[in-house]
Amino acid sequence: SIRPRDFPPGPPCLAFLGSLPYLDVRNLSKSFSKLQERHGDVFSVFIGSTPVVVLNGWKTIKEAFERPEFSGRPGNFSGTFFQKGKTGITTTEGKHWSSQRNFLIDYLENISRSGSQGFQDIMMDEVTDLKLDLTKKLSEPIAVSYKLNVCIINILWNLCCGRRLHAQQQEFQTVYECVDKITQFMSRAAIFSFLPILTKVLPESVTKIEKGRYYRNRFHEISEKWIREHRQEYRGNRTGDLQDLYLEKVNKGEDNFTEQGLAAMIREIFVIGSESVSVMLRWSLRILSCHPEVQEKVQEELDRVCGRGVDVTWDKSDQLPYTMAIVKEVQRFADIAPTGLMHKTVCDATLQGYHLPANTLIMANFTSCHQSTEFWKHPEKFHPEHFLENGKLIENKEGFMPYGLGTRICPGMKLADMELFLILSNILSSYQLVMVEGDDGDLGTQFEGGTAVLRNPKPYRVVFENRS
């Protein structure tokens, strides 16, 4: 074995393939849970010839991810291909990373703070449009993905560009297509970070690199155009959307703030912020249509607190513990990012007696928390009561980390929580979700479509019935 003695143990490493024969690449977290039984909470696997240290269990993941030594991010094929280099937040480190990350966090904190009504109203407008769209297809089986994506992309569009671009249909279609194709390409290309040789030996029909490059370039052109347009209109006295605030910093000459950096941030928000919320909503509607008894309870709460079919707003959320528990339980049950994003040690570090040299790749097995009987009474079931105690919502629960933990925790979490709450509660207030006849209610994962980074439900149709 090429493991030094104080490096975490793991399955054998074979030439070229590493530990791949011991791993189900379409369901890594399941393979990890098996290896955890044998090797403990900290073990290592080889992907190709690259060792990756896998962390399991709440205590271990929390201990590591809260320490700055573990806050690095490895160079990865998909991310750098998408941005044409290391820029933005997800793929960067050091001063660049913290400046961009803090900017986004401050901005989102500002617009989502209770009392700041503007952005909530914008979200509610999009939710109303979504409901109108659903009204056109009542009582027939429909696929919801596209409708949900339109709503989510419009929210992000408002966030990044202000309202003006919203109605331009052709441009919307182009952006939608770019985001969709880039997301697909990036999850397919995840493996190229470990086996770059594949990009050379496999044909384009398999790698889809040329196609990926086409959509990437198109999206670069669009994001750069948005910034030029914004620049022309900017007079230095408007404090509005994300671009205005970022450009203010560019104008002041602040370190790490450039127009290219702004374009990268916007592309990143669209790609990372739309698919994640969309997948979570697809799970939500699927799970709820399969659980009429849960729908009944949440609708009773919504009717009582807000009134049937009346707009549900974020300021009502603290009076809606059951609704909030559903949002959280969907996040636990769906476990959409089972291994999160890879980290890297930025210097030599020790963890539970093991020595990890600088630049060691680190992966966390979130499923080991979300599916553990240590924290959940019925881990394999959808059970909103996991987040309730004496009818009150449990805000911070051990073992729950849909957005990761510590230094790299998702900066979009508050925005995502608001989107999930507003879209789901307003749909449930107006409609009954009914399974299509003959549907067996299977809540399994869709594994087709390669090594998807996000865990998706199997494609499904659902019927919306009016409640009034």
Q: Which residues bind ligand HEM (CB under 6 A)?
A: 89-90, 101, 268-269, 272-273, 276-277, 280, 336-337, 340-341, 402-404, 408, 410-412, 415-416
Give the shortest CB-284-to-ligand HEM separation in angstroms. Answer: 10
CB 236 within 8 A of CB 251: yes
One DSSP character per residue, 431-460 reads: EEEEEPTT------B---SSS-SS--BPP-
CB 369 within 8 A of CB 29: no
Nearer to ligand HEM, 156 or 290 (CB): 156
Phi-psi group of 417: left, alpha or beta (phi > 0 → left; psi -120 to 50 → alpha; rest → beta): alpha
Longest C-alpha distance within the chain, in Å?
A: 67
Nearer to ligand HEM, 282 or 291 (CB): 282
Give the shortest CB-159-to-ligand HEM separation in angstroms. Answer: 7
Nearer to ligand HEM, 268 or 329 (CB): 268
Give the shortest CB-180-to-ligand HEM separation in angstroms. Answer: 16
Q: What is the dihedral of CA 330, 398, 380, 41, to 10 degrees?
A: 130
Nearer to ligand HEM, 216 or 408 (CB): 408
Give the shortest CB-334-to-ligand HEM separation in angstroms. Answer: 9
Nearer to ligand HEM, 208 or 343 (CB): 343
Ligand-binding site membership of 160 (annotated) = no
Nearer to ligand HEM, 94 or 441 (CB): 94
Give the shortest CB-283-to-ligand HEM separation in angstroms. Answer: 10
Give the shortest CB-79-to-ligand HEM separation in angstroms. Answer: 10
Rounded to an integer, what is the distance from CA 61 to the centroid of its chain?
A: 18
User: What SS3 class is residue 46?
Assistant: strand
Nearer to ligand HEM, 273 or 399 (CB): 273
DSSP-derived secondary structure letter, 307: -
Please give the helix or strand (H or E) that residue 146 lies within, else none.
helix 145-161
Phi, psi of 220 (to 5 degrees): -60, -45
CB 287 within 8 A of CB 330: yes
Give the shortest CB-278-to-ligand HEM separation in angstroms. Answer: 9
CA dist., res. 7 & res. 353, Å (int):
9
CA dist., res. 422 & res. 438, Å (int):
30
User: What SS3 class is residue 304?
Assistant: helix
DSSP-H helix ranges across 290-366: 292-305, 321-334
- CB count within 10 Å of CB 22 equals 17
Which residue ranges make up the annotated binding site?
A: 410
Which residue ranges make up the annotated binding site for heme?
A: 410
